[in-house]
Amino acid sequence: MSEAPRLLFVEGLNKSYGGVHAVRNVSFSVAPGEILALIGPNGAGKTTCFNMLNGQTPADSGRVVLRGQDISGKQPREVWRLGVGRTFQITATYSSMTVRENVQVALISFQSKLFSMLNATQRFANDEADRLLGLVGMEGYAARPCGELAYGDLKRLELAIALANDPKLLLMDEPTAGMAPRERVELMRLTAQIAREKEIGVLFTEHDMDVVFEHADRIIVLNRGAIISEGSPDQVRNDPQVKAVYLGDGLVFGHAEAHA
């Protein structure tokens, strides 16, 4: 497909729920440092795709290969250990802990200290946790109870958590949903910067077309579970099939958000 070394390689993914083909025969790949957007209207199969990549949902058929290793059928926690970080469409954080503690738990897991019982977490990897929070601009929130955070801040916290295991691939399901427009741009700029620096591949789904066309290196368009278009933002923007099937009229592209 491309000359660049592949980080993630997905081949022939299928999933149906009863009679509904949520995902059909989806194949694509992600290169290190590449930012790939997965877009499509509601119900196109984006989240199902995501869930199959990290093992949340078992695929009916198909292969997921991460850095040469077949990870199909592995549990989410095993996939994470192989270097895949993930954020959720609806944030999943530990509401009874502080912001820093949320990151610390991820670091504890990463350093295989989950069964350490006699040390104090308070003194565990504080600097590393604060560095990660600094990366997403949340150093001032470290001691705040996570349950008090605004939704946009929770999204940034999820990014910090996802970076805790030094991932090779980031899966971000609607990373900017629920954020203010300026926050969206900042978060994606930040993600892009981290990805380029550390050669992390990023796969994200998004409804905000501004975000998608500004930050994605490449775009895959899903409709009814199948890939209908793939290429650079310009290619996708001008793909008549995308216009016809997905957008209806091409005017939406570029300016406004597609509230699909």
Partner 1 sequence: MGFYIVQFLTGLASASALFLVASGLSIIFGVTRIVNFAHGAFYMLGAYVAFTLTERLSGAFGFWGGIVLAALAVAIIGVLVEMLLLRRIYSSPELFQLLATFGLTLMVEDLVVLIWGPDDLLGRRAPGFRGAVEMFGQNVPSYDLFMIVLGPVVLGILWLLFHRTRWGILVRAATQDRDMVAALGVNQKWLFTSVFGAGVFLAALGGALQIPRDAVHHALDLRIIVEVFVVVVIGGLGSITGAFVAAVLVAELNAFGILVFPKISIILVFLVMAVVLIVRPWGLFGKPEAAARKTPGLSVRPWQPLSQNERIAFAVGVVLAALLPLIAGNYALAVGAEIAIFVIFAASLHFLMSVGGLASFGHAAYFGLGAYGVAFLAKIAGLPMIVCLALGPLLGLFGAAIFGFFAIQLSGVYFAMLTLAFAQIVWSIAFQWVPVTGGDNGILSIWPETWAAGPARFYWLSLAVAVAVVGLLRVIVFSPFGYALRGTRDSLLRSESIGIDAKRIQWTAFVIAGTAAGIGGSLFAYLKGSVFPDNIGIGLSVDALVMVLLGGVETVSGAVVGAIVFKALSIWLVSQTDWSKLILGGVIVLIVVAFPKGIVGMIETWRARSDAPSSKSAALAASQPEGAE
| Interface residue list for partner 1 (CB under 8 A) | 54, 56, 75-78, 80-81, 86, 88, 92-98, 101, 104-106, 108-110, 113-122, 124, 139-147, 161, 164-165
Q: Which is nearer to partner 1, 174 or 208 (CB)?
A: 174
Instruction: Give residue 211's identity as a one-letter amino acid code.
Output: V
Q: Which is nearer to partner 1, 102 or 223 (CB)?
A: 102
User: Taking the complex as a whole, how short is the minimal distance between the CB of residue 47 and partner 1, in angstroms?
Assistant: 13
Q: Which is nearer to partner 1, 101 or 208 (CB)?
A: 101
d(CA 59, CA 23): 9
Count CB atoms within 10 A of the CB of residue 153: 20
d(CA 160, CA 53): 20
User: Taking the complex as a whole, how short is the minimal distance between the CB of residue 95 and partner 1, in angstroms?
Assistant: 6
Q: Which is nearer to partner 1, 2 or 119 (CB)?
A: 119
Q: What is the DSSP letter of 243?
A: I
Instruction: Give residue 195's identity as a one-letter amino acid code.
Output: A
User: Taking the complex as a whole, how short is the minimal distance between the CB of residue 183 and partner 1, in angstroms?
Assistant: 17
User: Taking the complex as a whole, how short is the minimal distance between the CB of residue 96 and partner 1, in angstroms?
Assistant: 5
d(CA 25, CA 137): 39
Cα dihedral: 74, 107, 122, 149 (round 10): -80
